[in-house]
Chains A and B, each alone.
Chain A
Amino acid sequence: MDDRRHRFEVLVLPHLDAAYRFARWLSHSPTDADEVVQQAILHAFRGFESLRGSDVKAWLLAIVRACHLTALKQHQRRVAVPLPQEQDVQDGEVVVAVTPDPESNTTDRDEERILDRLISALPQAHREIMVLREVEEMNYREIATVINVPIGTVMSRLARARAALKFHWMQEAKREIHAVR
């Protein structure tokens, strides 16, 4: 194995799980996510020289996000009609409906997992920032790198995303109370 490949495996591949998780949260379906991760790793490998500094995870997730956006555009061109804003809501349902194979049972979307479902239903800007902060536990600077916005925007967008999640969660709770009555 050449030296470049070796360095890539040591530096980048430890973040493969994070890349996969992020792609799953972004994509319409597990199949799309698989495709996005594969593309992203290949891009990362080809552009490995462009990696500066030590923030490998943020660098890789930024590539995953770029690949997702490219795939999304291609998808939109294919269907000719632009997807409506509510696509994110459908997103969650698509993920729920897929039967996982035994290996991917870690990605099971259980109906019981309300917050999981509510985050899936958030618009992408809110969903991705919640996932980067609460699942990947990245700090504001890293998140800013991934989604390519200033740190101040990370702060305000994250606060709004949390408020949105809280709102939907309360709605859900109210619905449940009504259902019991």
Chain B
Amino acid sequence: MMKKTAGGKLEARDLSKAYGSGRFAKTVVDRCSFTVEDNKLTVMIGPSGSGKSTMVRLLASFEQPTAGSVLLDGKSVTKPSSDRLVVFQETALYPWMTTYTNVIFGPEAQGRSEESCKNAADELIHRVGLSQFRESYPHELSGGMQRRAELARALINNPAIMILDEPFRGLDAMTKGLMQEYYARLFESSRNTHLFVTTDIDEAIFLADRLLIMSNFPLRLREVIDVNLPRPRKLADVVESDMANDLKKQALTLLHEEAMKSFAFGGYAAGESSRI
């Protein structure tokens, strides 16, 4: 069984990211600060195109911020590391590796022998329900199975922080619902620190302990909402919960304002929005 590590606390402090330079500089993230509390599931929500994926790359140190810093448990981090692993939009499984080989890639890359991590890998593959597909290549898996394989590949590294960038985007509604419940159970059983990025408000409320509502391009923190729904959660319960619906209304109002901003850049739509 995997050893249980305490999740870490991730902090973005005055992060800015601009692409290009001089007159052509485009600020995607602007002095953005927030905290991902340890052992909680934090959901970051914002309109699409608001710079969330850029934020993910900054947090994982795939890219360096123009200003500000990323702190893990109070220490500044600048290099990608297995303490902050990202599950990407769509799949980033290696197409040339089977499910099993994909999952043990991390431990092997860190120099561990296959023997020492074989059991953990098989256990995780079983937990994500892919035992039958252990020797399948990613293209032989359905979209939902690919995401689960990817979860297993990240989880085996025991990251202090799991960052999931719209992991269920592109799945059909049925599969998406199942994956959300599945993922919620996975989180509830491990209680590590997770940051889950999404544009889907229902998904956000269902999963979140804390909800970070982001402002539209450039990205900033707009508001933090605590979601104190009891765990373990079921999709059906959350749909019926008044508390969840109130939170949703509150979040939607903010998100609507932010989404309108991107329309306001266009002249025609700007006229529309001022009349509303």
A binds B: no
Residues of A within 8 A of B (CB): none
Query: Which residues in B have some Cβ–Cβ distance to A below 8 Å?
Result: none
